[in-house]
Amino acid sequence: MQNSLDSIKSLYRNPVTPGSLFLSIEGIEGSGKSTQIKEIEKTVQEKGLRVLTLREPGGTTFGEKLREAILNSETPLHPLAECHLFLASRAQLLKEKILPFLLQPGSVVILDRYIDSTLAYQGKARRLGYQTVLTLHQFDPLNLLPHRTYFLDIELETSFERQKIRGNVKDYFESQKQEFYQNLIDGYRELSELFPERILKLNAQKSIQEVTNLIKNDLETLLP
């Protein structure tokens, strides 16, 4: 298993334009992604760089339609159907927005969820397996990995407490049971060990400010 994962991992290419940066941010509901994304935007803008923030699924006209179709689905979808819908949205986002933006030096893309969401949600929690999800990402343009992925790691109880406080209506994934969420957490933790050079696992049980500082310190090592 490990060997075949290694051979797939070696197929991925990194963004090519020197001086541009591709960042993704990952974590389950309540992990604080939106807050940290705003902080990253500020840091990047203060450096005089161009920044583009996008979310998945979505970010393009076509992708937003897919987002609606998935998150409001009243039919339980086959995991492979789910996976292909996310990948369709991703391929379009890469072609229309991410790749053209990254072509210009001094550009930073911040993406709210990317490949690790598919690995954790469809690969682990929906049991498709990492290998299947990685194999589907072999082809251009899906074979683009971020320079850095920030994984905001929280415990199950924290996620549920924060979800209760928010009190929003639950979508397709949010209405899943406790076991599903625990699998997501386990999945993300496994992924940060499978891709240690790319994924930075951050303890998001800490205060917002503490997490922001950890991200800022890391960004200092990455930004031009």
Q: Is 32 in the site for ligand TYD (CB under 6 A)?
A: no
Whether 67 and 79 have beta carbons less than 8 Å apart is answered as no
Smallest gap from residue 57 Cβ to ligand TYD (A): 5
- Residue 196 CB burial class (10 angstroms; 0-12, 13-18, ≥19): exposed
Smallest gap from residue 54 Cβ to ligand TYD (A): 11
Q: Is 121 in the site for ligand TYD (CB under 6 A)?
A: yes
Q: How many residues bind ligand TYD (CB under 6 A)?
A: 13
Question: Checking DSSP bridges between strand 21-26 and strand 107-112, what pairing results, if any?
Answer: parallel
Measured from the CB atom, is 48 or 112 closer to ligand TYD? 112
For residue 198, give the nearest of 153, 152, 145, 144 by alpha carbon: 145
Smallest gap from residue 36 Cβ to ligand TYD (A): 12
Query: Which range in 4-12, 17-25, 54-62, 196-204 contacts ligand TYD by CB under 6 A?
Result: 54-62
Smallest gap from residue 165 Cβ to ligand TYD (A): 15
d(CA 211, CA 216) in angstroms, rounded, equals 9
106: Cα separation from own chain's centroid: 22
Phi, psi for 199 (deg, rounded to 5)? -90, 125
| Interacting residue ranges for ligand TYD, rule: CB under 6 A | 29, 33, 55-57, 71, 86, 113, 117-118, 121-122, 173
